[in-house]
Chains A and B, each alone.
Chain A
Amino acid sequence: MTIDELRAKAAERQQTCGQIKKMIVSRLDLEVEPDWITDDQPLFGRGLELDSLDVLELYVAIEAEFGVALYDSDMAVFGSISRLADEVNPRLRVTA
């Protein structure tokens, strides 16, 4: 890939991550700017310190915002913003 193609690919992921951050900040009424949350930031326990009630709220919010149902997903989906982006925008998905 050329560097411009790589930048475009990166921009698509960053845009999806940005949408997720805005959704989380809005739905959970967080005090931080969405961009303060990093793509790799842990969401539960460490990091954003969300709890199980927040997860339920996010399930509803993700389906409303992205049309993706995550009800049967395991907790790994919420491992980071970027991991969540893989779920709501499957074009982004990569394997480790």
Chain B
Amino acid sequence: MTTPLAHTHPGDTVYGQVGDATVPLRFTDLSAEYKVLRERAVALDLGGHTLIEISGPAAVDFAQQVLARDVEYLTSERCMMSLVLDDDGRVVDQVLAFGREDGLLLESSVGAGTRLLEHLRALDIEDVEIVDRSADLTVIGLEGPYAWGVVGRLIDGELASLPFEAVSDTVWNDVEIIFARTGFTGEYGYQMIVPVESAADLWEATLEHVTPSGQEALELAMLEVRQPIPRLETTGDVNVIEIGANWLVDVTKDEFVGKEAVLAAFESRQGRRTVGFSGGDTVPEPGARVLAGGEDIGEVVFAVRSVGLGTTLGLARVEAGLAAAGLELTVEGAGVTTLTSPYIVPKSWSIPII
């Protein structure tokens, strides 16, 4: 699937296949896009996120079963990030769930829509209708320490100061959109869910105020604040506890798919844990061995070249007793240091919305 906005992007946009989606990786270059994201604000073509409508008399009960967080009282003015798990507690996807009058709207992570849809439909629950809305709805995002200013110029300044994960059904240029305060990077973040036929107009209007950023800069900024990136962190035989995504699971909730497996993994106190690291001149591949005092203690999950840190930044999955910040380890012969999160402090944390 290609993003509905692809025809509006410059001819030299670099695309990449992420799961089932072909998305813009970069419009210019990673470094420039990253710096604008962290210093000012960028527009994001999130058309690789699939929107799935859950409706029908049993919609909320179904969502309660499927989502690992509690959505029973998720009103149409709220959204919430949650994991979707399988029976074995493995991550199917990380979604944004929007409360709607007649059910919920789920937004998949990038490129994960097909897998999520297959999972939902396989559960085969009566009185629930599951509809892929990707053909008629798409998502445009804004992220950055001054993204709130863009909202004010583009739509309405009052929307900029919505509480985190608040949602407002609003109108832009006579088009009904769902507007939400969200965010993946620790910076001020917003999403606009817009009909596909009006998406290009909204995108062009947004670009009158900001430049676009691709998936690479977005994921680098997500990594820096330890926002899980499902496509990179959930590969292989790992559970929620090993990923460190506990906060996207509500174990106080009565019941949901995967709960027993997650609790069993937690109570076993076994397995590995994930920790961030930086250092080294090269970027190790996923699976590269991690050594402590010359002994093999785990592997690299993924790593990138960090623009902000000026060195390699990555995640390692290591034995639990060594998953802590401040340790000098070795990856492919290079010395690395494990880190406290966030690895970069978002500028938005010191800038009020005015």
Which of the residues A32, A36, A92, A96 comes within 8 Å of B278, measured between beta carbons? A96
Assembly CA distance A45 to B166 (angstroms): 11
Contact status A3-B247, CB under 8 Å: no
- A83 and B326 form a contact (CB under 8 A): no
Contact of B321 among A1, A7, A93 (CB under 8 A): A7
Residue-wise interface mask of A (1-26) relative to B, using a CB-CB cutoff of 8 A (1 in contact, 0 not): 11111110111011000000000000
Name which of B252, B309, B340, B341 has the most chain A CB atoms within 10 A of its CB: B340
Q: Which residues of B have CB within 8 Å of A37?
A: 246-247
CB contacts (< 8 Å) of A14 on chain B: these are 321, 324
B328: which A residues are within 8 A, CB to CB?
A: 1, 6
Q: Are A41 and B293 neighbours in the complex by a CB distance under 8 Å?
A: no
Kindly state whether residue B15 has any CB partner on chain A within 8 Å.
no
Q: State A42–B84 Cα separation when bound (angstroms).
A: 20
Asked if B287 is at the interface of the complex by the 8 Å CB criterion, the answer is no
Supposing A6-B327, A14-B324 touch, asked if A74 and B342 sit within 8 A by C-beta, the answer is no
Residues of B within 8 A of A6 (CB): 292-293, 322, 327-329
Asked if A3 contacts B339 (CB within 8 A), the reply is no
Q: Which residue of A lies closest to B80 (CB)?
A: A49
Cβ B324 vs Cβ A38 within 8 A: no
Give the total of A residues in contact with B, Cβ under 8 Å.
39
Does A94 sit within 8 A of B, measured CB to CB? yes
Number of interface residues of B (CB under 8 A): 43
Q: Give the docked Cα–Cα distance between A85 and B174 (Å).
A: 50
Q: Is B114 engaged at the interface, CB distance under 8 Å to the other chain?
A: no
Nearest-neighbour CB distance to chain A for B324, whole angstroms, equals 4
0/1 interface trace, chain B 168-201, chain A, CB 8 Å (1 if under): 0000000000000001001000000000000000
Q: Using an 8 Å CB-CB cutoff, how does the interface string of A58-96 with B read, 1 for contact, 0 for none?
A: 000000000000000011100110110110000011101
Q: Which of B278, B322, B341, B350 contacts A83 (CB 8 A)?
A: B341
In the bound complex, how far is the Cα of B186 from the Cα of A14, in angstroms?
A: 24
Rounded to whole angstroms, the CA-CA distance of A1 and B340 in the bound complex is 20
**Residues of A at under 8 Å CB distance from B?**
1-7, 9-11, 13-14, 31-32, 35-42, 45-48, 74-76, 79-80, 82-83, 85-86, 92-94, 96
Known contacts A10-B323, A38-B244, A46-B81; 8 additional CB pairs below 8 A are A9-B326, A11-B324, A38-B247, A40-B276, A42-B225, A46-B183, A46-B227, A96-B344
